[in-house]
Amino acid sequence: MRLNVTFKTDWEFDESKHPVGEEVAEKLSKLMSDNGIVISNIDNYEDFAWALDTRVGEKELFLLLGHVGDDPEQWLIQVASYQTKFLHMFNKKHAIAQMRSLAPKVNAVLTACEKISNILWHHGDFADGTPSSVPNHDIQ
């Protein structure tokens, strides 16, 4: 299960790089780390996005950052767990609890940044349901 948030920023990035957004990932990593969400690593995620590694307690989580492409300033973050699907079956509630606890912190950091706007939270598939200005905690 992932929590998804879309937002806009006018931070500059090189559109010719693949995947796009390394500059945004670096700025977001610093912003998160400066505000209590320690990002331990930034890595290319399957050649389409950027993974910003973090932890909640002992749980390894990551913020998956990608350029949506609907408009030049539109970005998506997924709050996700590195757990395999097999392990997820046995540890699902714990992973969801950790992701739920991280989402409001991510929201607070995004909301406080004057360079970030149009923050909308989704759960489940990216385009499903009605987005909200705050993380939705009724995920399964």
Q: For residue 59, what pLDDT is reported?
A: 86
Q: Give the mean pLDDT of 19-37.
A: 97
Q: How many Å apart are CA 29 and CA 88, to the nearest integer?
A: 26
Q: Is the residue at 50 inside a domain?
A: yes
Longest CA span, the chain: 42
How many domains does the chain divide into?
Answer: 1
Domain range for residue 27? 8-82+107-121
Q: Is the residue at 94 inside a domain?
A: no
Yes or no: say if 25 and 42 are a contact pair by the CB < 8 Å rule. yes
Q: For residue 122, what pLDDT is reported?
A: 84
Long-range contacts: 33-41, Cβ < 8 Å, 24+? Answer: 35/105, 35/108, 35/109, 35/112, 36/105, 37/102, 37/105, 37/106, 37/109, 39/63
Residue with more model confidence, 31 or 70: 31
pLDDT (tens digit per residue) in 47-91: 999 999 999 988 899 999 999 877 778 999 999 987 655 555 555
The confidence band for 1, taking pLDDT boundaries of 50, 70 and 90, is: very low
Q: Is the residue at 135 inside a domain?
A: no
pLDDT (tens digit per residue) in 81-126: 876 555 555 555 556 788 889 999 999 999 999 999 999 998 766 5
Yes or no: say if 99 and 81 are a contact pair by the CB < 8 Å rule. yes
pLDDT over threshold 60, residue 40: yes
Q: Is the residue at 101 inside a domain?
A: no
- Token pair listed for 98: 């950790």
Q: Is the residue at 131 inside a domain?
A: no
Q: Is the residue at 31 inside a domain?
A: yes
Q: For residue 140, what pLDDT is reported?
A: 43
Backbone angles phi and psi of 116, in degrees to 5: -120, 135
Q: How many Å apart are CA 9 and CA 105, to the nearest integer?
A: 18
Q: Is the residue at 2 inside a domain?
A: no
Q: Is the residue at 126 inside a domain?
A: no
Q: For residue 139, what pLDDT is reported?
A: 47
Q: For residue 69, what pLDDT is reported?
A: 77
- CB-count burial class (<10 Å; 0-12, 13-18, 19+) for 125: exposed
